[in-house]
Amino acid sequence: MPPTFPVSRCAPHRLRKASGAGMILLLLAAGSASVPAQGIDDGLLMQKRTLNIGVMYAHDSWNEYWEGSLRRSNENIGTLTTQSVSVVGHYGLTERLTLVTMLPYVWTRASKGTMHGLRGVQDLTFAAKYRMLNAPFAGRGRLNAVLVGAAGVPASGYTPDFLPLSIGLASRQASARLSLRFDSEDDWFIDGSAAHTWRNKVKLDRVAYYTDGQLYLTDQVAMPDVFDWRASAGFHRKRMTIPVSIWQQRTLGGGDIRRQDMPFVSNRMNYTKAGASVMYGLTVPTDLALHLGVATTLAGRNVGQSTTITAGVFHTFRF
């Protein structure tokens, strides 16, 4: 579910788009301990010597966006649609350490205007989740505390300088995250997570650019860091898990899209989103689970007011 951005009416020949599809898909895939799909930002780990492989599909679309704080539409875009198919893997190296990897293939399309969409392999993400605490709490259940380190690198030579039709930001990044999860004895749970992401410079295919009121005579763009948090609540009963979540991203720097101008790769990209999903473990075969989710953007700045639908299938192998 990538954050997406507009194209200016006065500059239809230049389009750009930011994509956080990898992290958002992992977020929407969060499940429970016995339903084997998990995410980078939850408090769950795989059992030792257990491998979970999944395929996730996401369909994200919007026809209005925030240009700074102004919400508007754009006839050069119409409806912007971003789709992705991602391969997600989790492996329980030990009882306290789970390794995660993900690779999405992304393609974009605008319903109006003359610009064509782009497609390709986006960013390869690796993460390690380490359980620091698993203990009884308040006599009502158990509390888990998980520390997560993650890193992502572009997996192809796509351009980030074509928003909102680019498939990603093409920035190498690393993040540190803390997740807390409480599982009650009555089948309900609360899950929370917060992270800081450091992003490396992005190289453009031009020797100068203008952003945030300043001209830069270089092809290197400094990318601001990002802070994000998520809170979820839901229940898990037998083979079914249903979480309801709200999450927020805040870019720690960057400027707004200029009025009637194109977006830029280092723009401030803030949003608040809410969503719900269902994860259901099949009885035959017993190691297969299905996922269905929906999310919407409640508020934003320099992002599209998008709706995202996700679907996936996951299989667990035990060694």
Residue pLDDT tens, the chain, 319 long: 333 333 333 333 333 343 444 444 444 433 333 344 468 988 899 999 999 999 999 999 999 999 999 999 999 999 999 999 999 999 999 999 999 999 999 999 999 998 899 999 999 999 999 999 999 998 899 999 999 999 999 999 999 999 999 999 999 999 999 999 999 999 999 999 999 999 999 999 999 999 998 999 999 999 999 999 999 999 998 899 999 999 999 999 999 999 888 889 999 999 999 999 999 999 877 899 999 999 999 999 999 999 999 999 999 999 9
The dihedrals phi and psi of 263, each to the nearest 5 degrees, come to -75, 170
pTM for this structure? 0.88
Q: Which residues contact 215 (CB under 8 A, 6 or more apart)?
A: 208, 209
- Residue 317 · residue 51 · CB < 8 Å: yes
Burial classification of residue 287, based on how many CB atoms lie within 10 Å of its CB (0-12 exposed, 13-18 middle, 19 or more buried): middle
Residue with tokens 């539409």: 73
Rounded to whole angstroms, the Cα distance separating 4 from 302 reads: 8
Q: Which residues contact 278 (CB under 8 A, 6 or more apart)?
A: 240, 241, 242, 291, 292, 293
> What is the b/e burial string over 177-199, where b = at least 16 CB atoms within 10 angstroms of the residue's CB?
bbbbbbbeeeeebbbbbbbebbb
* Nearest C-alpha neighbor of 236 from the set 194, 195, 186: 186
The domains found in the chain, sorted by start residue, are 21-318 (2.40.160.40)
CA distances from 151 to 123, 141, 142, 266 (A): 10, 32, 29, 19
- Residue 265 · residue 223 · CB < 8 Å: yes
Rounded to whole angstroms, the Cα distance separating 126 from 26 reads: 12
